[in-house]
Amino acid sequence: MGFLGLREFFKASNPLRARGELIYGAARAIKEAEPRPVLVETENGVIASNVFSTRTVVYNVLGARADEEAYINMLNALSRPKPPRVVKLHSLKRRGDDLYSLPIPKFYEKDAGRYITAGIFLARDEDTGYVNASIHRALVIGENKLAVRVVPRHLYKILSKSESRGKDLEAVILIGAPLPLYLAAASSPPFGVSEIEVAAALSGNLEATYDIASGIPVPLPTEIAIRGYFIAGARAKEGPFVDITGTYDETREQPVFKVEEIWSMSDPLFYAILPAGMEHVNLMGFPREASIWDTARRTAPGVKKVRLTRGGAGWLHAVIVMEKMKEGDPKNVLMAAFAAHPSLKMAIAVDPDINPDDPVEVEWALATRMQPLEDIFIVPNARGSSLDPSADQKRLLTSKIGIDATKPLEKPPHLFEKAKIPPPKHG
Protein backbone atom coordinates (compact mmCIF):
# COMPACT_ATOMS: atom_id res chain seq x y z
CA MET A 1 0.00 0.00 0.00
CA GLY A 2 1.23 3.50 -0.82
CA PHE A 3 0.82 6.87 0.84
CA LEU A 4 -1.91 7.35 3.46
CA GLY A 5 -1.56 10.90 4.78
CA LEU A 6 -0.83 14.21 3.08
CA ARG A 7 2.26 14.88 5.21
CA GLU A 8 3.64 11.43 4.49
CA PHE A 9 3.24 12.10 0.78
CA PHE A 10 4.99 15.47 0.84
CA LYS A 11 7.79 14.17 3.04
CA ALA A 12 8.59 11.56 0.39
CA SER A 13 7.86 13.52 -2.79
CA ASN A 14 10.56 16.24 -2.85
CA PRO A 15 8.02 19.00 -3.57
CA LEU A 16 8.68 22.35 -5.13
CA ARG A 17 8.37 25.27 -2.74
CA ALA A 18 6.94 28.64 -3.68
CA ARG A 19 5.40 31.81 -2.30
CA GLY A 20 2.09 33.23 -3.49
CA GLU A 21 -0.75 35.54 -2.54
CA LEU A 22 -4.10 33.94 -1.81
CA ILE A 23 -5.73 35.92 -4.61
CA TYR A 24 -4.38 34.31 -7.82
CA GLY A 25 -0.77 33.99 -6.62
CA ALA A 26 -1.18 30.50 -5.19
CA ALA A 27 -3.05 29.39 -8.31
CA ARG A 28 -0.20 30.62 -10.52
CA ALA A 29 2.35 28.78 -8.41
CA ILE A 30 0.35 25.54 -8.56
CA LYS A 31 -0.08 25.80 -12.34
CA GLU A 32 3.59 26.55 -12.95
CA ALA A 33 4.63 23.57 -10.81
CA GLU A 34 2.47 20.98 -12.63
CA PRO A 35 2.86 18.04 -12.44
CA ARG A 36 5.31 18.40 -9.53
CA PRO A 37 3.85 18.45 -6.00
CA VAL A 38 4.10 21.94 -4.55
CA LEU A 39 3.91 23.69 -1.19
CA VAL A 40 2.93 27.34 -1.50
CA GLU A 41 3.62 29.64 1.43
CA THR A 42 0.92 32.31 1.76
CA GLU A 43 0.06 35.05 4.22
CA ASN A 44 -2.32 32.65 6.03
CA GLY A 45 -0.40 29.39 5.94
CA VAL A 46 0.86 26.71 3.56
CA ILE A 47 -1.18 25.42 0.61
CA ALA A 48 -0.38 21.89 -0.59
CA SER A 49 -1.29 20.90 -4.15
CA ASN A 50 -0.55 18.70 -7.17
CA VAL A 51 -0.84 15.50 -5.14
CA PHE A 52 -2.68 13.40 -7.76
CA SER A 53 -1.17 15.19 -10.77
CA THR A 54 0.37 11.98 -12.13
CA ARG A 55 -1.03 8.50 -12.61
CA THR A 56 2.01 7.20 -10.73
CA VAL A 57 0.69 8.68 -7.49
CA VAL A 58 -2.83 7.37 -8.15
CA TYR A 59 -1.39 3.88 -8.62
CA ASN A 60 0.84 4.23 -5.56
CA VAL A 61 -2.15 5.08 -3.36
CA LEU A 62 -3.95 2.07 -4.84
CA GLY A 63 -0.97 -0.22 -4.28
CA ALA A 64 -0.77 -0.92 -8.02
CA ARG A 65 1.91 -0.86 -10.69
CA ALA A 66 -0.14 -0.75 -13.90
CA ASP A 67 -3.58 0.02 -15.29
CA GLU A 68 -5.36 -3.30 -14.89
CA GLU A 69 -4.07 -3.86 -11.35
CA ALA A 70 -5.19 -0.33 -10.40
CA TYR A 71 -8.68 -0.89 -11.84
CA ILE A 72 -9.02 -4.22 -10.01
CA ASN A 73 -7.86 -2.80 -6.67
CA MET A 74 -10.32 0.08 -6.96
CA LEU A 75 -13.21 -2.20 -7.93
CA ASN A 76 -12.38 -4.71 -5.19
CA ALA A 77 -12.49 -1.98 -2.55
CA LEU A 78 -15.84 -0.76 -3.89
CA SER A 79 -17.30 -4.27 -3.73
CA ARG A 80 -15.71 -5.26 -0.40
CA PRO A 81 -15.62 -2.20 1.88
CA LYS A 82 -14.44 -2.57 5.48
CA PRO A 83 -14.91 -0.41 8.60
CA PRO A 84 -11.97 1.74 9.75
CA ARG A 85 -10.42 1.14 13.15
CA VAL A 86 -12.00 3.51 15.70
CA VAL A 87 -9.54 5.46 17.87
CA LYS A 88 -9.91 8.14 20.51
CA LEU A 89 -6.52 9.82 20.43
CA HIS A 90 -5.87 12.27 17.61
CA SER A 91 -3.78 15.38 17.02
CA LEU A 92 -6.53 17.80 15.93
CA LYS A 93 -7.04 20.94 18.03
CA ARG A 94 -9.85 23.51 18.09
CA ARG A 95 -9.07 26.84 16.38
CA GLY A 96 -12.33 28.80 16.40
CA ASP A 97 -14.76 29.26 13.52
CA ASP A 98 -13.08 31.87 11.28
CA LEU A 99 -12.71 30.61 7.72
CA TYR A 100 -10.55 33.63 6.89
CA SER A 101 -7.87 32.23 9.21
CA LEU A 102 -7.32 29.46 6.65
CA PRO A 103 -5.35 29.94 3.40
CA ILE A 104 -8.38 29.54 1.14
CA PRO A 105 -7.39 30.82 -2.32
CA LYS A 106 -9.14 32.49 -5.23
CA PHE A 107 -8.04 30.73 -8.41
CA TYR A 108 -9.33 32.41 -11.58
CA GLU A 109 -10.16 35.95 -12.61
CA LYS A 110 -13.95 35.60 -12.75
CA ASP A 111 -14.40 33.18 -9.83
CA ALA A 112 -17.02 34.41 -7.37
CA GLY A 113 -14.50 34.43 -4.52
CA ARG A 114 -12.28 32.21 -2.40
CA TYR A 115 -13.04 28.49 -2.78
CA ILE A 116 -12.41 25.28 -0.89
CA THR A 117 -11.79 22.80 -3.73
CA ALA A 118 -10.49 19.72 -1.89
CA GLY A 119 -13.17 19.51 0.78
CA ILE A 120 -14.63 16.07 1.50
CA PHE A 121 -18.08 16.47 3.07
CA LEU A 122 -19.17 13.82 5.57
CA ALA A 123 -22.89 13.62 6.36
CA ARG A 124 -25.00 10.94 8.01
CA ASP A 125 -28.33 9.69 6.68
CA GLU A 126 -30.75 9.75 9.62
CA ASP A 127 -32.82 6.78 8.41
CA THR A 128 -30.04 4.29 7.69
CA GLY A 129 -27.00 5.56 9.59
CA TYR A 130 -25.02 5.57 6.33
CA VAL A 131 -22.25 8.20 6.28
CA ASN A 132 -21.62 9.65 2.84
CA ALA A 133 -18.25 11.13 1.85
CA SER A 134 -18.17 13.27 -1.29
CA ILE A 135 -16.09 16.12 -2.72
CA HIS A 136 -17.82 19.46 -3.25
CA ARG A 137 -16.57 22.94 -4.03
CA ALA A 138 -17.46 25.53 -1.40
CA LEU A 139 -17.47 29.33 -1.78
CA VAL A 140 -16.63 31.44 1.27
CA ILE A 141 -19.54 33.88 1.75
CA GLY A 142 -18.68 35.02 5.27
CA GLU A 143 -16.44 34.46 8.25
CA ASN A 144 -18.26 31.23 9.10
CA LYS A 145 -20.49 30.49 6.11
CA LEU A 146 -20.06 28.64 2.82
CA ALA A 147 -22.21 28.25 -0.28
CA VAL A 148 -21.74 24.61 -1.34
CA ARG A 149 -22.33 23.22 -4.84
CA VAL A 150 -24.39 20.09 -4.12
CA VAL A 151 -25.20 18.15 -7.29
CA PRO A 152 -28.15 15.70 -7.30
CA ARG A 153 -26.33 12.71 -5.87
CA HIS A 154 -25.97 11.21 -2.41
CA LEU A 155 -25.34 14.30 -0.26
CA TYR A 156 -28.20 15.98 -2.12
CA LYS A 157 -30.49 13.07 -1.20
CA ILE A 158 -29.48 13.15 2.47
CA LEU A 159 -29.83 16.94 2.65
CA SER A 160 -33.22 16.91 0.88
CA LYS A 161 -34.60 14.37 3.38
CA SER A 162 -33.33 16.42 6.30
CA GLU A 163 -34.78 19.65 4.93
CA SER A 164 -38.14 18.00 4.24
CA ARG A 165 -38.33 17.39 8.01
CA GLY A 166 -37.34 20.96 8.77
CA LYS A 167 -34.00 19.91 10.23
CA ASP A 168 -30.49 21.25 9.79
CA LEU A 169 -28.01 18.63 8.59
CA GLU A 170 -24.84 18.17 10.63
CA ALA A 171 -21.74 17.65 8.49
CA VAL A 172 -17.94 17.71 8.64
CA ILE A 173 -15.64 19.04 5.92
CA LEU A 174 -12.23 17.37 5.67
CA ILE A 175 -9.33 19.19 4.01
CA GLY A 176 -6.15 17.16 3.62
CA ALA A 177 -7.85 13.86 4.46
CA PRO A 178 -6.23 10.42 3.94
CA LEU A 179 -5.35 10.08 0.27
CA PRO A 180 -7.33 6.82 -0.29
CA LEU A 181 -10.45 8.68 0.88
CA TYR A 182 -10.08 11.17 -1.97
CA LEU A 183 -10.13 8.33 -4.52
CA ALA A 184 -13.05 6.67 -2.72
CA ALA A 185 -15.02 9.93 -2.47
CA ALA A 186 -14.50 10.57 -6.19
CA SER A 187 -15.73 7.09 -7.13
CA SER A 188 -19.45 7.52 -6.32
CA PRO A 189 -20.36 4.00 -5.11
CA PRO A 190 -24.07 3.15 -4.71
CA PHE A 191 -26.02 4.90 -1.98
CA GLY A 192 -25.43 3.06 1.29
CA VAL A 193 -21.87 1.98 0.46
CA SER A 194 -19.64 4.08 2.70
CA GLU A 195 -16.76 5.80 0.94
CA ILE A 196 -14.96 5.76 4.28
CA GLU A 197 -15.14 1.97 4.30
CA VAL A 198 -14.03 1.85 0.66
CA ALA A 199 -10.98 3.93 1.66
CA ALA A 200 -10.34 1.57 4.58
CA ALA A 201 -10.40 -1.37 2.16
CA LEU A 202 -7.93 0.46 -0.11
CA SER A 203 -5.50 1.41 2.66
CA GLY A 204 -5.78 -1.60 4.93
CA ASN A 205 -5.01 0.48 8.03
CA LEU A 206 -7.38 3.48 8.06
CA GLU A 207 -8.30 4.92 11.46
CA ALA A 208 -11.19 7.19 12.40
CA THR A 209 -12.40 9.13 15.42
CA TYR A 210 -15.92 10.08 16.56
CA ASP A 211 -14.65 12.90 18.81
CA ILE A 212 -15.18 15.70 16.24
CA ALA A 213 -18.88 15.17 15.51
CA SER A 214 -21.50 12.84 16.96
CA GLY A 215 -22.26 9.86 14.75
CA ILE A 216 -19.79 10.86 12.02
CA PRO A 217 -16.41 9.07 11.88
CA VAL A 218 -13.56 11.39 10.90
CA PRO A 219 -10.79 9.46 9.08
CA LEU A 220 -7.21 10.07 10.19
CA PRO A 221 -4.73 11.55 9.51
CA THR A 222 -6.60 14.70 8.48
CA GLU A 223 -5.05 18.16 8.34
CA ILE A 224 -8.26 20.17 8.88
CA ALA A 225 -11.80 19.19 9.92
CA ILE A 226 -14.57 21.80 9.83
CA ARG A 227 -17.62 20.87 11.92
CA GLY A 228 -20.93 22.56 11.19
CA TYR A 229 -24.30 22.07 9.55
CA PHE A 230 -26.33 22.84 6.46
CA ILE A 231 -29.00 25.38 7.41
CA ALA A 232 -32.38 23.90 6.47
CA GLY A 233 -33.85 25.76 3.50
CA ALA A 234 -31.04 28.35 3.31
CA ARG A 235 -29.66 29.15 -0.11
CA ALA A 236 -27.05 31.57 -1.47
CA LYS A 237 -25.56 32.39 -4.85
CA GLU A 238 -22.63 30.11 -5.78
CA GLY A 239 -20.50 30.77 -8.85
CA PRO A 240 -19.25 31.55 -11.36
CA PHE A 241 -16.44 29.05 -10.92
CA VAL A 242 -14.06 27.23 -13.23
CA ASP A 243 -14.81 23.51 -13.41
CA ILE A 244 -12.91 20.62 -14.97
CA THR A 245 -13.48 21.79 -18.56
CA GLY A 246 -11.56 25.02 -17.90
CA THR A 247 -14.70 27.07 -18.58
CA TYR A 248 -16.83 28.99 -16.10
CA ASP A 249 -19.76 27.14 -14.58
CA GLU A 250 -22.92 29.17 -14.11
CA THR A 251 -24.19 30.86 -10.95
CA ARG A 252 -26.81 28.93 -8.96
CA GLU A 253 -28.67 29.14 -5.66
CA GLN A 254 -26.96 26.52 -3.48
CA PRO A 255 -27.18 25.23 0.12
CA VAL A 256 -25.53 27.22 2.92
CA PHE A 257 -23.15 25.58 5.40
CA LYS A 258 -22.64 27.21 8.83
CA VAL A 259 -19.26 26.60 10.49
CA GLU A 260 -19.38 25.83 14.21
CA GLU A 261 -15.80 24.86 14.84
CA ILE A 262 -12.58 24.36 12.92
CA TRP A 263 -10.18 21.64 14.07
CA SER A 264 -6.68 21.27 12.67
CA MET A 265 -3.26 19.77 13.14
CA SER A 266 -0.46 22.04 14.27
CA ASP A 267 0.63 24.18 11.28
CA PRO A 268 -1.79 22.39 8.93
CA LEU A 269 -1.25 21.89 5.23
CA PHE A 270 -4.25 23.35 3.40
CA TYR A 271 -4.90 21.00 0.49
CA ALA A 272 -6.18 22.78 -2.63
CA ILE A 273 -6.95 21.28 -6.04
CA LEU A 274 -6.45 23.65 -8.97
CA PRO A 275 -9.71 23.61 -10.96
CA ALA A 276 -9.15 22.16 -14.46
CA GLY A 277 -5.56 21.29 -13.51
CA MET A 278 -3.87 17.94 -14.02
CA GLU A 279 -4.75 16.84 -10.49
CA HIS A 280 -8.43 17.65 -10.98
CA VAL A 281 -8.46 15.62 -14.20
CA ASN A 282 -6.75 12.55 -12.67
CA LEU A 283 -8.67 12.50 -9.41
CA MET A 284 -12.08 12.97 -11.01
CA GLY A 285 -11.39 10.81 -14.04
CA PHE A 286 -9.65 7.69 -12.74
CA PRO A 287 -12.64 6.17 -10.90
CA ARG A 288 -14.70 6.61 -14.08
CA GLU A 289 -11.97 4.91 -16.12
CA ALA A 290 -12.18 1.92 -13.77
CA SER A 291 -15.96 1.84 -14.17
CA ILE A 292 -15.74 2.01 -17.98
CA TRP A 293 -13.09 -0.72 -18.04
CA ASP A 294 -15.20 -2.99 -15.83
CA THR A 295 -18.33 -2.57 -17.96
CA ALA A 296 -16.51 -2.74 -21.28
CA ARG A 297 -14.60 -5.95 -20.48
CA ARG A 298 -17.91 -7.68 -19.73
CA THR A 299 -19.11 -6.69 -23.20
CA ALA A 300 -16.17 -8.00 -25.22
CA PRO A 301 -12.87 -9.72 -24.36
CA GLY A 302 -9.55 -7.99 -24.81
CA VAL A 303 -10.22 -4.58 -23.23
CA LYS A 304 -6.84 -3.44 -21.87
CA LYS A 305 -7.08 0.11 -20.57
CA VAL A 306 -9.17 3.29 -20.62
CA ARG A 307 -8.09 6.92 -20.75
CA LEU A 308 -10.33 9.89 -20.15
CA THR A 309 -8.19 12.27 -22.18
CA ARG A 310 -6.70 15.57 -21.09
CA GLY A 311 -8.11 17.26 -24.19
CA GLY A 312 -11.55 15.98 -23.22
CA ALA A 313 -11.12 17.59 -19.79
CA GLY A 314 -10.67 14.18 -18.19
CA TRP A 315 -14.42 13.71 -18.37
CA LEU A 316 -16.01 14.04 -21.83
CA HIS A 317 -13.73 12.00 -24.15
CA ALA A 318 -12.33 8.49 -23.75
CA VAL A 319 -9.82 6.32 -25.59
CA ILE A 320 -10.28 2.58 -25.04
CA VAL A 321 -7.42 0.20 -25.83
CA MET A 322 -8.55 -3.29 -26.83
CA GLU A 323 -7.44 -6.44 -28.61
CA LYS A 324 -10.18 -6.89 -31.20
CA MET A 325 -11.33 -10.50 -31.63
CA LYS A 326 -14.28 -9.95 -33.97
CA GLU A 327 -15.59 -7.13 -36.11
CA GLY A 328 -18.33 -5.32 -34.22
CA ASP A 329 -16.75 -5.82 -30.80
CA PRO A 330 -15.37 -2.26 -30.66
CA LYS A 331 -18.81 -0.77 -31.27
CA ASN A 332 -20.27 -2.84 -28.42
CA VAL A 333 -17.43 -1.70 -26.18
CA LEU A 334 -18.03 1.93 -27.10
CA MET A 335 -21.74 1.66 -26.31
CA ALA A 336 -20.85 0.04 -22.98
CA ALA A 337 -18.56 2.99 -22.23
CA PHE A 338 -21.41 5.45 -22.79
CA ALA A 339 -23.58 3.43 -20.40
CA ALA A 340 -20.87 3.21 -17.74
CA HIS A 341 -20.10 6.95 -17.80
CA PRO A 342 -23.16 8.91 -18.97
CA SER A 343 -21.22 12.18 -19.15
CA LEU A 344 -19.05 10.70 -21.91
CA LYS A 345 -19.49 12.49 -25.24
CA MET A 346 -16.91 10.84 -27.51
CA ALA A 347 -15.26 7.42 -27.25
CA ILE A 348 -12.58 5.97 -29.54
CA ALA A 349 -11.50 2.32 -29.65
CA VAL A 350 -7.86 1.67 -30.63
CA ASP A 351 -5.51 -1.30 -30.89
CA PRO A 352 -2.91 -2.18 -28.19
CA ASP A 353 -0.05 -0.73 -30.27
CA ILE A 354 -1.56 2.75 -29.84
CA ASN A 355 -0.59 4.80 -26.80
CA PRO A 356 -3.84 6.35 -25.49
CA ASP A 357 -1.86 9.07 -23.69
CA ASP A 358 -0.41 10.31 -27.00
CA PRO A 359 -2.98 12.32 -28.99
CA VAL A 360 -0.78 12.11 -32.11
CA GLU A 361 -0.87 8.31 -32.03
CA VAL A 362 -4.63 8.32 -31.50
CA GLU A 363 -5.09 10.68 -34.45
CA TRP A 364 -2.77 8.45 -36.54
CA ALA A 365 -5.05 5.50 -35.75
CA LEU A 366 -8.04 7.56 -36.88
CA ALA A 367 -6.21 8.47 -40.08
CA THR A 368 -5.01 4.98 -41.03
CA ARG A 369 -7.49 2.51 -39.47
CA MET A 370 -10.89 4.18 -39.57
CA GLN A 371 -13.42 4.65 -42.37
CA PRO A 372 -16.05 7.28 -41.45
CA LEU A 373 -19.03 5.60 -43.14
CA GLU A 374 -18.45 2.20 -41.52
CA ASP A 375 -16.68 3.03 -38.27
CA ILE A 376 -18.50 6.04 -36.82
CA PHE A 377 -21.88 6.07 -35.13
CA ILE A 378 -23.79 8.93 -33.50
CA VAL A 379 -26.30 8.72 -30.68
CA PRO A 380 -28.61 11.77 -30.63
CA ASN A 381 -30.45 13.18 -27.61
CA ALA A 382 -28.65 11.13 -24.97
CA ARG A 383 -28.04 12.15 -21.38
CA GLY A 384 -24.93 14.30 -21.19
CA SER A 385 -22.92 16.36 -18.73
CA SER A 386 -23.77 19.65 -17.07
CA LEU A 387 -20.07 20.47 -17.48
CA ASP A 388 -20.33 20.54 -21.29
CA PRO A 389 -21.20 24.12 -22.32
CA SER A 390 -22.21 22.98 -25.82
CA ALA A 391 -24.91 20.58 -24.52
CA ASP A 392 -28.55 21.33 -23.78
CA GLN A 393 -27.95 22.61 -20.25
CA LYS A 394 -31.61 22.61 -19.20
CA ARG A 395 -32.41 19.05 -20.24
CA LEU A 396 -28.79 17.76 -19.99
CA LEU A 397 -29.03 16.27 -23.48
CA THR A 398 -26.18 15.84 -25.94
CA SER A 399 -25.19 13.87 -29.03
CA LYS A 400 -22.54 11.18 -28.57
CA ILE A 401 -20.03 9.89 -31.10
CA GLY A 402 -18.35 6.49 -31.10
CA ILE A 403 -15.37 5.75 -33.36
CA ASP A 404 -13.86 2.36 -34.12
CA ALA A 405 -10.21 3.12 -34.97
CA THR A 406 -9.03 -0.49 -34.74
CA LYS A 407 -7.45 -2.39 -37.65
CA PRO A 408 -10.01 -4.13 -39.88
CA LEU A 409 -9.56 -7.88 -39.51
CA GLU A 410 -10.27 -8.73 -43.12
CA LYS A 411 -7.25 -6.80 -44.41
CA PRO A 412 -3.62 -8.04 -44.28
CA PRO A 413 -2.03 -7.07 -40.92
CA HIS A 414 1.15 -5.82 -42.58
CA LEU A 415 -0.77 -2.87 -44.06
CA PHE A 416 -1.13 -1.39 -40.55
CA GLU A 417 2.29 -2.23 -39.17
CA LYS A 418 4.20 0.67 -37.66
CA ALA A 419 7.52 1.11 -39.46
CA LYS A 420 10.59 0.80 -37.22
CA ILE A 421 14.23 1.71 -37.59
CA PRO A 422 16.24 -1.19 -36.09
CA PRO A 423 18.79 -0.49 -33.36
CA PRO A 424 22.49 -0.50 -34.25
CA LYS A 425 24.30 -3.82 -34.32
CA HIS A 426 27.04 -4.33 -31.74
CA GLY A 427 30.17 -6.42 -31.99
Instruction: Tell me the C-alpha distance between 375 and 372, whole Å.
Output: 5
Q: Which residues are catalytic?
A: 243
CB 142 within 8 A of CB 84: no
Backbone phi, then psi, for 167, in 5-degree steps?
-110, 145
Helix count (H) and strand count (E) of the chain?
11, 23
Cα 411 versus chain centre, distance: 41
Residues 6+ apart with CB under 8 A from 163: 169, 230, 232, 233
One-letter identity of residue 39: L
Rg (CA), the chain: 23
The CB density around residue 210, as the number of other CB atoms within 10 Å, is 13
Instruction: Tell me the C-alpha distance between 158 and 153, whole Å.
Output: 9
Backbone phi, then psi, for 9, in 5-degree steps?
-65, -50
Instruction: Tell me the C-alpha distance between 124 and 335, whole Å.
Output: 36
Residue 227 three-state SS: strand
Cα 426 versus chain centre, distance: 48
